[in-house]
Every structure is written in C-alpha cells, then in structure tokens.
Structure 1
C-alpha cells in the first residue's frame, strides 16, 4: 500500500510538473518572440494628467476580453452542440496568439510594462489551466456520457447552455468573481432528472461551480483590499453640443473647451454603446483619457480587415474577429462607415 501510494504521489507530481511546464511555454514565447517593436510616439494631451490612462492599456485590455469572448463562443457552441465540440486548444491559442500580436504592436504606445505583464500572464495561465482541465474531462468522460445519452439533449444540456450564455453576458461589465455560482449549482439540482446524462452534468458542473465559487471568494477578498480601478474616464467630443451630450445615459458634461466638449463617461461595455451612439448622432472624438489611439474589435465574414493587428475565427459563429488599432479622431467615422455593411462592432477597448 505504501509503495502504491508513493507511486500515485509520484505520478501526480509528474503530471503537475508537466502541466506547469506546458503553461510556462506560452509565457516564455511572448517574452522572447513577441517583444514590443518601435519607439514610443509622443503626444501632447489636452486633458490634464489626473485624467490620463496609459495608452498601452487599450491594447493590453484585450487578452482579458478574449476570455469573455471565449465564454461567449463556448455558450454559442453548446446551445446546439455538446461541450466536446468546442475547440479548447483553439481558445487557448487565441489568447496567447493575440497577446503576442498586441505585445509587438505596443512599442509606440508605451510597450508592455511589467505591472501589466503580471496581471495578463496570471489570467492567461489561469485560463489555460481551466480550459485544459475542462477539455480533459469533456473529451473523455463527458464524451462517454454524451454517447450514452444519444442524440436527444438532456434538460441539463439546455440549462447549462443558458447559464453559460448568461455568464458570458455578465462578464461584459462585471468581474467574473461576482457571479453567483451557488445559484447556478442549485438550479442544476432543481432541474435534474434521473437520466444518466443529467446525473453526470449535475455532478461535473456542480463540482466546477463549487471550485469557481471557492476561488471567487479568494479573489474577491484579495481585490477588496486593493484600490479599485476607475470606473469612469474623461474624453473630448466635438460635433455635439453640451445639451445633447448631457442627455446621454450616465454622461456628465464637465466643460466646453476650444477643442470640443469635455465629458465624463462610464467605462467597459457601457462606453462602447455610448461611443457608438455619439458617432451615430454626428459626434467625433478628439481625445479619450489623454490618448490619441484606441483599439476596437469587430466581427465580419471577411478574412482581413483594414488596420487589423490580429484576426481569428469565432467558434459557434461563421465569422471572424479582427483587432483594429486606429486614431481616436478616426473612430467615429469608422463606426459610421459600418452601417449597412457586414462589419459589426463588438467592443471598443478603453484604457
């Protein structure tokens, strides 16, 4: 028994070492092969320094959003298909591949600072481990459970797809650790039938939700003692008067400047909708958070897009995502030019 236990522990240690080496490979690749290219380009900001955010963040916020998009893609796949039909390795590769492209492009925008690296690498490694673990289960035991189930979906197949879609939508504006995983687990218990597939889904997803709930408590406690990131930012808009701008949701007019109207707005997904609305109403953007360049993602069935730094196929859809870096002053017209085309705005990345 002692020899058997020792062998089991040695196997676990070996697997853990292999996993650690595996997730370290993309970090090493980004560090060595994806270094920022080009020198910083100076820009004389209009807004005062206290309202500036580092321009490089418009590029380096995307990797975290890639995870949001990956959850949305996963939800789209399992809405009609099964979890093993999602490309877990492709989801991981999309994260590290886009990070490499953005790191290379970050040189003129402040590079890839060490403070950003620790955060981006941490979420990247966590995402990689999560998807590898999920793939290992769904491609083995999960696939067997589907074979036993047959062609007809079980109630928890549909419920888990609904939960995945709701979670992906939640992540567009709120950090993941605030999601109520316990409620999802309870919903599985309430809706489960006595079929084999429901029993398996209830156990597998219940365990996943339990682990995430425990991890969320740890992250939430750690974040609670850290200074919160700003939820709002300043920008300068022209083409719209102060009265029109003050009538937009959550927008506060600060002052009228020679260059345009200075306003205070929310960030994240709410900002994307506001920028799109202001552009549609004839507004143009002069400066955002003290910066003159900004990143956005669009989706289209075209293989390439003008100004794209990185492109990838979206799972669960028949189109591609393009990461486009452009001047702030060109953003509004680019948004207006999308009207009536097959190009759809997905997200505008602030700083």
Structure 2
C-alpha cells in the first residue's frame, strides 16, 4: 500500500515537473532584450493607453483561440483524435519564448502579465495532453466501433466547437455557456449507443468541469478588475472624419488639422476596422498610446517576405487548417501599408493584437 502511494506521489510530481518545465525554460532562456525606445503618446486620456508589450504578450491567449478553431475545423470532417494536440502545445511555448524576448524591446512584460501567460500555458498544456491521451485511446476506439457515419453527439460536438471558436474571437472564454452546451449534447438522440454514451460522458464531463471553472474565474476577474476594457482609441491619418464616422463601430473622439482620434471595439472587431481603414487608403499613426504593434499573417508557405521595418518574430503551424502563421512586429505608422501589401506576398491578415 505504502509503495503504491509512493508511486502515485512520484507520478504526480513528474506531471507537475513536466508541466512547469516550459515555464522555467521561457523565464531562464527567453529573456527580454533591451528596454525599448521612448515615445510621446498623442492620446491624452490615460484610461485608453495600454502597455506596448501587451501586444506581444497577449498572443498566447489567441494561440489557444486558434487551437480551438483548429479543432473545430478538424471536426468538420474527422474526429477528435485527428487533431494535432502535441504540435499545438509546442507552438504555444515556441511563440511564448520568442514573444518574451521581443517584449523586452517594448517595455517588457511585467510579472502579472508573464504569470498570466504561464498560467494559461500550463492549463492549456494539461488540457490538450489529457484530451490527446483520451481521444487517442477510448475516443479512437469508440469512433472505430461507430464507423464512418457520425453520431448525433459527434455532430453536436462539431457545432459546439465551431460556435465556441467564434465566441472566443470577441469574448473571454469564461463567459461561454457550457451548461447549455451540455444540455444540448444530452438532448441528442442515441442512434449509436456506444459512441453516443461515450461522447455524452466524455464531452459532457469536460464541459461541466469547464462550466464550474469558468464561474470561479469570472468571479475572480470581476472582483479584481471589474472586467476587461472592451474599447480602444487610435490616431488615424489620411481619411476625413466623415469617412471614418460612416464606418460601423467607429466613434470620433477628436479632430485636429493633422489627424482624427477614434474609439472602437477591441479584439476581432478592431482587426476588421483597421483592415477597412487600410483598404480605404487611411493610415494608423498611434494605437492605445503606442507606436509599435504585432500582427499575424497566414500563408501556405513557412516563410513570408518582409518589407522594410517589419520584423518576423516567429512562425508556427496552423493546427487543423494547414499552412502557417507568421508573427510580425511592425511600426504602427506602417501597419496599413503592411496590410495592403500582404496579398502581393501570398499572405493574408489574420489579426492585429491590440494590447
């Protein structure tokens, strides 16, 4: 009995060490380089200024969003065991290492920001590893017994994954209604009993656990911060105030002879607005009080041509979709030009990381 207990404790310690190893590596070997250049912001309201390093340090959260979207893409035609769980984990930590270095030249990520990155990284690693372990064994077995035709529970899981992926583009994960997802899963008919019950228990259990965890996180976030700032301000040149005001979700804050200050939603909506401004011939001069920003571009090749002033931070694979994601550091004043020239470089804009 004592020997068995000792083995269990050692196994748990090994799991903890394996989960924390990437954190140690990033902190020890991916140190920040430099302190960055000084910049005098034009946006006067301090509430709408954000730390420049956040543009780089928030990517890991989006990597998790992209992983769920990749899983949803996999489920359109296949089953969970076909998703690249290991490569998605590796991509997270590869990007985290590169971004921790680059953030140093933009003021550096503070302790809380890095701690958040590491916390979600460990959580993501554990979740993906557990899903891979289960889906490669029992999940694959039940899928084989089911045959090529998907069960109603499989169809529901694919629809939930797609809905969750879309939800994460604009809203924190802990606000998703996992309880409703469980109810929908269990409401599906059991036309294939083995696979149906296996999916009900496996996915239903996972989503119930996430629902409980989400409630705890939401309570903690609201108590600590009152929720995330969902609006952002930018300085735009090359467009008339009337042209900007005609754009959906764009509010004019201030107009000077040289520029227009606007307020918009953040996250995916912000990327769409910046892309529309670039398409209309406008330029960004400042975003959230900063003159540097990161974007991701997608392409079918593992390399992308860079224009003057652009810096490639790293490239990771797009699990579930194929192709590659390029993390690129640009000056805000060059952002619109970069977006306008991506197509000529056989690439397309994915996201602008708004601090």
Q: TM-score range with shorter-chain normalisation?
A: over 0.9
Q: Per the alignment, do residues 9 and 247 of structure 1 end up closer, same or farther by CA in structure 2, a change over 3 Å counting?
A: farther
SS of corresponding position for 2:228: coil
Equivalent position of 1:46 in the other structure: 42
Decide which moves more: 67-76 or 47-56: 47-56
Residue 335 of structure 2 corresponds to residue 331 of structure 1: yes
Correspondence for 1:295: 294
Corresponding position: 1:26 with 2:30: no
Partners of 1:302 and 1:340 in 2: CA distance: 14
2:137 is aligned to 140
Q: Alignment partner of 2:190: what SS? A: coil
Structure 2 CA distance for partners of 1:11 and 1:144, relative to 1, 3 Å = farther
Aligned residue for 1:105?
102
Q: Please state how far the C-alpha of 1:341 moved relative to its aligned partner.
A: 6.0
**Deviations 1:298-330, CA, capped at 9 Å, x for gaps:** 111121122321111112223111111101011
1:10-25 superposed matches below 5 A: 10-25=6-21
Report which stretch shifted further, 236-245 or 256-265: 256-265
Q: Secondary structure at the match of 1:47?
A: coil
User: What's the TM-score once normalised by structure 1's chain length?
Assistant: 0.95
Provide the C-alpha distance between the structure 1 equivalents of 2:151 and 2:254, rounded to a whole number of angstroms: 58
Q: Tell me the distance in 2 between the aligned counterparts of 1:97 and 1:256.
A: 42
Q: TM-score scaled to structure 2, two decimals?
A: 0.94
Measure how far apart 1:77 and its partner are. Answer: 1.1
Distance (whole Å) between structure 2 residues aligned to residue 279 and residue 235 of structure 1: 13
Query: Which residue matches 1:193?
Result: 190
| Helix, strand or coil at the partner of 1:106 | helix
Q: In 2, Cα distance between the equivalents of 1:229 and 1:315? A: 28
**C-alpha distance in structure 2 between counterparts of 1:247 and 1:264, whole Å:** 13
Unaligned runs of 5+ in 1: none
Shift of 1:258: 3.9
Deviations 1:257-302 (A, max 9, x none): 2431111111111100110111111111111111111111111112
Kept in 2, the 8 Å contact 1:259–1:286? The answer is no
Question: Take 1:150 and 1:7, find their aligned partners in 2: how far apart are those partners?
Answer: 43
Separation in structure 2 between the aligned mates of residue 93 and residue 70 of structure 1, nearest angstrom: 12
Counterpart in the other structure of 2:247? 248
**Deviation for aligned residue 1:7:** 5.6
Could you list the runs of 5+ residues in structure 2 that have no partner in the other structure? none
Paired position in structure 2 for 1:233 = 232
Question: What is the Cα deviation at residue 16 of structure 1?
Answer: 2.1
The answer to whether structure 1 residue 204 and structure 2 residue 208 are counterparts is no
Query: Once structures 1 and 2 are overlaid, which stretch shifts more, 45-54 or 282-291?
Result: 45-54
Partner of 1:319: 323
Give me the whole-angstrom Cα distance separating, in 2, the residues matched to 1:198 and 1:187: 13
Structure 2 residue aligned with 1:221: 219
Moved more, 69-78 or 144-153: 144-153
Distance 1:282 1:128, change over 3 A: same
Aligned-pair Cα RMSD in Å: 1.6
Report the CA distance shift for 1:95/1:235 in structure 2 as closer, same or farther (over 3 A). same
Q: Give the secondary structure class of the aligned counterpart of 1:79.
A: helix
Q: Once the 2 structures are TM-superposed, how far is the Cα of residue 79 of structure 1 from its aligned partner?
A: 1.4
Match of 1:344 in 2: 348
CA contact (8 A) 2:292 2:330 kept: yes
CA distance in 1, matches of 2:87, 2:326: 16
Q: Secondary structure at the match of 1:141?
A: helix
How far the C-alpha of 1:182 sits from its partner, in A, is 1.2
Structure 2 residue aligned with 1:174:
171
Whether the 8 Å contact between 2:152 and 2:191 is mirrored in structure 1 is: no
Q: Measure, in 2, the Cα distance between the counterparts of 1:12 and 1:178.
A: 35
Residues in 2 aligned to 1:27 and 1:340: alpha-carbon distance in whole angstroms: 38
| Number of residue equivalences | 347
